[in-house]
Amino acid sequence: MGAIRVLFDGWSLVHNPLGSAAWHLRTLLALNPEGVQPTLALPMEPSASNAIAGIETIHHHTHERGEWEQRLLPRLAEERGAKVIHTTSLGASLLGKVPTLVSPAETEIAGRGRLGEALGYGGLARAKILWPEDVPKGKVPGESSTLPPVVHPEFFLGKANVPRSLDLPDEFLLVHGLHDQKETLNLLESWTWASASIGELYPLVIVGLDEAGREFIKARLPEYHVQESVFVIGDIQAQDLPSLYRACTALVHLGIPAPWGNPLRHALAGGKAIVAHQEANTESIVSSAAYLISPGDLRGFGAAMITVVVDEKARQKLEESAQERAAHWPAAKFRNELLKIYEG
C-alpha cells in the first residue's frame, strides 16, 4: 500500500505567520504520521520564512483568498493526486472534487470577499471538521470528529533563546495577537490600572499584529499614558516565537481563542501562568491554569495582571497547573488518530 498523499493549505504561513492557523499547520506537519506523504501548497513562491524544512512545497501565485480556497487548492490537490486537502482555515471548497479536512484555527470565516465567504462556509458542510476534545463543538456545519489536544513541540519547556535584536526586558507579560480595535482599547484601559504598580519592571510585550494594528496601538499609547511600559514588536520571525513564550512571566489573552494553535495552548505547554477572559472555550482549554476575568471587568483584568506578577505563590500554582494540563496532550495518540482519519 502506497503512502497517503495529503495537500496542506499554506495560506496562513504567508499572510499571518504568527497566527493560530499558521502554528497549527506547523504542528500538523511536525507530527505528520508515518505513511502520510505531505505536500505544502503556498499562494506565493516558497521562501525561508514560509517553507517547512523537509516538506515538499508547491505554489501558485494569488492574492485572492477566495480563489485560492475554491479553485486553486482543489486543482493543486488533483494534480498531485492527493487523497485529501487539510486546512487550518475556517473554510473549504464548495465544488472541489478532493475531500477537505478542516482543523479550525480561526474564529471567523473572513478575508475572502462576500461571495468567497459564502462559498467557504458552504464548503464546510461538505468537509470533515476536526475538533480538539477539550473545546465544545462550534456552530459549524459538516461532519465532525475529535482529536486529542496538541501543541507544537517547540513550545514545551526549554531554554529561552530570544534574539538580542528584539531588545526585550528580562521580565514581561506577553500579549500574542488582538482581534480588533475595541479589544486593543480594552487592553490599554485595563493596563492603566496595572502599569503604575508593575509596568516599569514587568511591561507588556505585544506581538502578532499586522502593520495597521501596530500603528493603531502605538498611536493610542500616549492617550493612556502607558508608552513607557508597552512594547509593540513587529519584526519577529515565527521560529523565535516559542522562545518568547518561554521567556515571558505570564501570558495575557483577550477574547475567544481559536480551537487549535491558540496562544493559550502555547503558554500551557511552556508552564506559564495566564490571565484571560472568562468564556466557555477558554475555560475548557485552561481549566485551573489561569486567572479568568469577565470581559467587561477592565479594572479586574488589570488587577489580575498585578496579582500574577506580585503573588509568586499564586503564579507558581498556576504554572504547576499549566504543566499538568499540557502533560495530558499525547502527541503519539494525536498522530495515530489523525492517521486513521486520513485512511478514511
List, for residues 285-310, the tens digit of each pLDDT value: 999 999 999 999 999 999 999 999 99
pLDDT at position 157 is 67
d(CA 138, CA 280): 11
Is the pTM above the cut of 0.85? Answer: yes
Q: Alpha-carbon distance 198 to 186, whole Å? A: 18
Nine cell digits for residue 86: 487539510
Q: Scanning the structure block, which residue is given the C-alpha cell 477572559? A: 277
Q: Is the dihedral of CA 242, 247, 249, 254 positive or negative?
A: negative
In this structure, what DSSP letter does residue 75 have? H
| Interhelix angle 298-310/312-326, nearest 10 degrees | 90
Question: Which pLDDT does position 138 carry in this prediction?
Answer: 81
- List the end-to-end C-alpha distance of the chain, in Å, as a whole number: 14
What residue ranges define each of the domains in the chain, with the CATH number in brackets?
4-150+330-343 (3.40.50.11380), 164-326 (3.40.50.2000)
**The residue type at 100:** T
- Regions of the chain where pLDDT drops below 70: 1, 157, 159
Confirm if 108 and 138 have CB atoms less than 8 A apart. Answer: no
- Among residues 327, 162, 322, the alpha carbon closest in space to that of 253 is found at 322
pLDDT of residue 110: 83
The amino acid at 157:
L
Q: What's the pLDDT at 325? A: 93
pLDDT of amino acid 230: 97
